[in-house]
């Protein structure tokens, strides 16, 4: 406990000093309140949002879109990735197409998606699913192609059918790669959720941030950015926890 | 190689059916221009329009922001790894800022810096910063202890240790971070031009969407995809030359 405190103390002190410095600078009029409100003001707004429960609506909207888009994109990517990893013909069929589509920054696809799907949820969920799809696919393919051939040959010798081979051997063996892809793509999915709400939004956290900026309600804008940061942080923790739960058998090299 | 041919064939069939559905009127929509019209638009805009300038604006912004971001990231990463006390002091701030999705920082930066290049370059630099900083820190603090022990045995000076051991050992990590940053920074370049733009491919894209010139809109997406592809390919080539001695552990 004492050692932990000694380690965490310098960081905590610098953080408090920084916030205090901003507070004083704003109070002294060095920074315009219309640009950077005092941290305590932002904190108060944040507290009000939380206590009133106002935070729930927009947050639920954004998270629901992210959840649905992520589920669709990741599921399709895993299925396709396993198929591409297992059957070389499927790999040959789709690999060039994927290499063609992958480098497109998915944010650039929002305008055409708006043309086809309008500005509603369908467009937002599709763009999130697209952003999630490619990292998960690439990782799954990599994982599935790298499965120890002895495992596969053994299963075949024992008469395991291709579908249960995919499910029981290749899927678990590529799980560490799939999780790496998922961790990358959840961050990208959140980015796309925010972007699509900013570009064509009527609700959600991304919309609120840009709406508050346009309305010069700067404190609210910062409060929502803080909320978004917390969401991003918690999502990462969630994935890490899931990874530990499902991959307890896999020695992960420690990453910070 | 036989497999790849089927893939190329698939692309050809998809493009052809796109062309045919649009030409034959199977799909009649403003949003569904034939592929040939997109390519024609691309060529015409390149030759007679201002597409070249548009790309130039995007690329120069991107390059400036990216270089600033990765330099700052590498410096901070090295400092954190080599001076643990500094790391303890400033890491919490970095950890607090890192999970914010970069596009969410565009609105506050617009307040401070306006909608001009300064804002866009800043947001690109901020985006490029984090992956490089994190990777550099990891690489520089994970140098094989035996190398450092050997250097100490030979009484190698700290400057030499830094230049001859720590730097080369960290380089692959720095480059890995730079490659992640490359893709992210390109996304943010386009996004910042879309949200608060007056020039660049992102702005052009949104403009064409509003103007219902869908062929030119798709041409813009094509340009962005080609940029992404070319930048990544160039990066990979440079990486292979720079760290030819490095074989990643599978």
% of chain B beyond a pLDDT of 90: 25
B residues 211-240 lying closer than 8 A (beta carbon) to A: 214, 217-218, 220-221, 224-226, 228-229, 232
* Residue A119 backbone phi and psi in degrees, to 5: -100, 10
Q: Check residue A45 and give its pLDDT.
A: 93
**Residues of A with CB below 8 A from B221's CB?**
104, 108-109, 112
Nearest Cα residue in chain A from B97 = A229
Delimit the domains of chain A by residue range. Answer: 1-31, 37-246
- pTM of the predicted protein model: 0.86
Residue recorded with tokens 């062929």: B215
Query: CA-nearest residue of chain B to A88?
Result: B3
Q: How confident is the model at residue B250 (pLDDT cuts 50, 70, 90)?
A: very low
Please tell me which of the candidates B4, B111, B220 has its beta carbon nearest to residue A92. B4
d(CA B189, CA A105): 10
Distance CA(B21)–CA(B24), nearest Å, equals 6
Phi, psi at B74, each rounded to 5°: -65, -40
Percent of residues, chain A, with pLDDT higher than 90: 47
**CA of A13: which chain B residue's CA is closest?**
B89
List the 158-177 stretch of B: residues with Cβ below 8 A of A: none
The pLDDT score that the predictor gives to residue A256 is: 38
- pLDDT beyond 80 at A184: yes
* Predicted local confidence at residue A1, as pLDDT: 53
- Is residue A176 within 8 Å of A247, Cβ to Cβ? yes
Mean pLDDT value of segment B26-40: 79
Is B7–A95 a contact, with Cβ atoms under 8 angstroms apart?
Answer: yes
Look at A97 and B10 and tell me if their CB atoms are within 8 Å. yes
- A195/B103 touch (CB, cutoff 8 Å), yes or no: yes
Residue B1 belongs to a domain: no
| A152 pLDDT above the threshold of 80 | yes
Interface test with B, best of A62, A93, A100, A105 (most B CBs within 10 A): A105
CB A174 within 8 A of CB A147: yes
The pLDDT of residue A156 is 87
Average pLDDT, chain B: 87
Chain pair A-B, CB pairs under 8 angstroms: 163
Nearest residue of A to residue B201, measured between CA atoms: A108
Provide the 8-state DSSP code for B32: -
Contact at CB, B205 and A108, closer than 8 angstroms? yes
Q: Give residue-wise pLDDT tens across range B169-226.
A: 899 899 999 988 998 899 899 988 988 878 889 999 888 888 888 888 888 888 888 8
The CATH number for B100's domain is 1.10.3720.10
Q: With bands split at pLDDT 50, 70 and 90, how would you rate the model's confidence at A36? A: confident
B2 within some domain: no
User: Residue B28's pLDDT band (boundaries 50, 70, 90)?
Assistant: low
pLDDT digits (tens, 9 = 90+) for B127-160: 999 999 999 998 888 888 888 889 889 988 888 8
User: What pLDDT does A223 receive?
Assistant: 94
- Which CATH superfamily does the domain covering A37-246 fall into? MetI-like (1.10.3720.10)
Q: How far apart are CA A83 and CA A170, in angstroms?
A: 10
* pLDDT per residue as tens digits for the range A97-143: 998 888 888 888 888 888 888 888 999 999 999 999 999 999 999 99
Residue A217 has pLDDT above 80, yes or no: yes
For residue B114, pLDDT beyond 60: yes
Which residues 4-63 of chain B have a CB within 8 Å of chain A? 4-8, 10-11, 14, 30-31
Average pLDDT over residues A183-188: 90
- For the beta carbon of residue A149, count every other beta carbon within 10 angstroms: 8
Residue A233 predicted with pLDDT over 80: yes
Residues 6 or more apart whose Cβ sits within 8 Å of residue B212:
B30
DSSP state of A252: P
Tell me the nearest-neighbour CA distance from A217 into chain B, angstroms: 11
Q: Which chain A residue has its CA at the smallest distance from B11's CA?
A: A97
Partner A contacted by B112 (CB < 8 A): yes
- Cα A21 to the chain's mean position, in Å? 32
pLDDT of B1 over the 80 cut = no
CA dist., res. A35 & res. A244, Å (int) = 42
CB contact (8 A) between residue B93 and residue A18 = yes
Within-domain flag for B3 = no
The answer on pLDDT for A255 being more than 60 is no
- Cβ-count burial B95-121 (b if 16+ within 10 Å, e if not): eeebbbbbbbbbbbbbbebeeebebbb
> Do B141 and B218 meet the contact criterion of CB atoms below 8 Å apart?
no
Chain B residues with beta carbon closer than 8 angstroms to that of A233 = 99
pLDDT at B88: 87
What is the span of the domain harbouring residue B141? 33-242
Q: Cβ neighbours of residue B11 under 8 Å, at least 6 residues apart?
A: A96, A97, A100
Residue B152 is encoded by which pair of tokens? 């100490």
Distance (Å) from the alpha carbon of B59 to chain A's nearest alpha carbon: 15
* Overall domain count for chain B: 1
Residue A74 has pLDDT above 90, yes or no: yes
Query: How far apart, in whole angstroms, are the C-alpha atoms of residue A144 and residue A126?
Result: 26
User: Is B107 in contact with A210 (Cβ distance < 8 A)?
Assistant: yes
The verdict on residue B20 lying in a domain is: no
């Amino acid at each position: 406990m004492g050692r932990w405190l000694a380690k965490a103390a310098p960081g905590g002190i610098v953080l408090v000093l920084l916030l205090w410095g901003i507070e004083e600078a704003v109070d002294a009029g060095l920074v315009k309140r219309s640009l950077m409100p005092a941290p305590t003001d932002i904190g108060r707004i944040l507290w009000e949002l939380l206590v009133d429960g106002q935070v729930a609506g927009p947050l639920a909207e954004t998270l629901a879109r992210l959840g649905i888009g992520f589920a669709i994109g990741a599921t399709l990517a895993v299925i396709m990735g396993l198929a591409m990893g297992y059957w070389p013909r499927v790999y040959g069929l789709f690999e060039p197409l994927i290499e063609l589509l992958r480098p497109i920054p998915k944010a650039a696809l929002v305008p055409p998606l708006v043309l086809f799907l309008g500005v509603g949820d369908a467009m937002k969920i599709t763009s999130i699913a697209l952003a999630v799809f490619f990292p998960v696919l690439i990782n799954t393919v990599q994982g599935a192609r790298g499965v120890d051939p002895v495992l596969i040959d053994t299963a075949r010798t024992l008469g395991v059918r291709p579908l249960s081979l995919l499910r029981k051997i290749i899927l678990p063996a590529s799980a560490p790669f799939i999780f790496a892809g998922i961790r990358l793509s959840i961050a990208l999915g959140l980015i796309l959720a925010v972007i699509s709400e900013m570009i064509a939004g009527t609700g959600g956290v991304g919309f609120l941030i840009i709406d508050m900026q346009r309305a010069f309600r700067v404190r609210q804008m910062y409060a929502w950015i803080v909320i978004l940061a917390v969401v991003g942080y918690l999502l990462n923790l969630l994935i890490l926890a899931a990874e530990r739960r499902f991959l307890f058998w896999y020695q992960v090299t420690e990453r910070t | 190689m036989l497999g790849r041919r089927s893939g190329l064939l698939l692309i050809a069939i998809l493009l052809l059916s796109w062309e045919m559905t649009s030409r034959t009127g199977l799909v009649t929509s403003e949003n569904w221009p034939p592929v040939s019209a997109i390519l024609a638009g691309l060529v015409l805009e390149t030759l007679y329009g201002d597409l070249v300038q548009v790309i130039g604006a995007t690329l120069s912004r991107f390059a400036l922001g990216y270089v600033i971001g990765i330099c700052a990231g590498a410096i901070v990463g090295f400092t954190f790894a080599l001076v643990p006390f500094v790391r303890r002091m400033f890491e919490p701030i970095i950890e607090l800022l890192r999970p914010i999705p970069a596009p969410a920082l565009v609105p506050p930066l617009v307040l401070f810096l306006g909608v001009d290049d300064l804002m866009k370059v800043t947001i690109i630099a901020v985006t490029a910063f984090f992956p490089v900083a994190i990777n550099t820190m990891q690489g520089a603090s994970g140098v094989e202890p035996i190398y450092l022990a050997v250097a100490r045995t030979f009484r190698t000076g700290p400057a030499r240790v830094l230049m001859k051991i720590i730097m080369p050992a960290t380089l692959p990590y720095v480059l890995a971070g730079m490659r992640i940053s490359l893709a992210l920074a390109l996304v943010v370049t386009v996004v910042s031009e879309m949200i608060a733009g007056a020039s660049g491919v992102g702005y052009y894209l949104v403009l064409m969407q509003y103007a219902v010139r869908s062929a030119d809109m798709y041409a813009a997406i094509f340009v962005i995809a080609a940029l992404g592809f070319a930048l990544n390919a160039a990066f990979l080539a440079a990486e292979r030359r720079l760290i030819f001695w490095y074989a990643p552990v599978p």
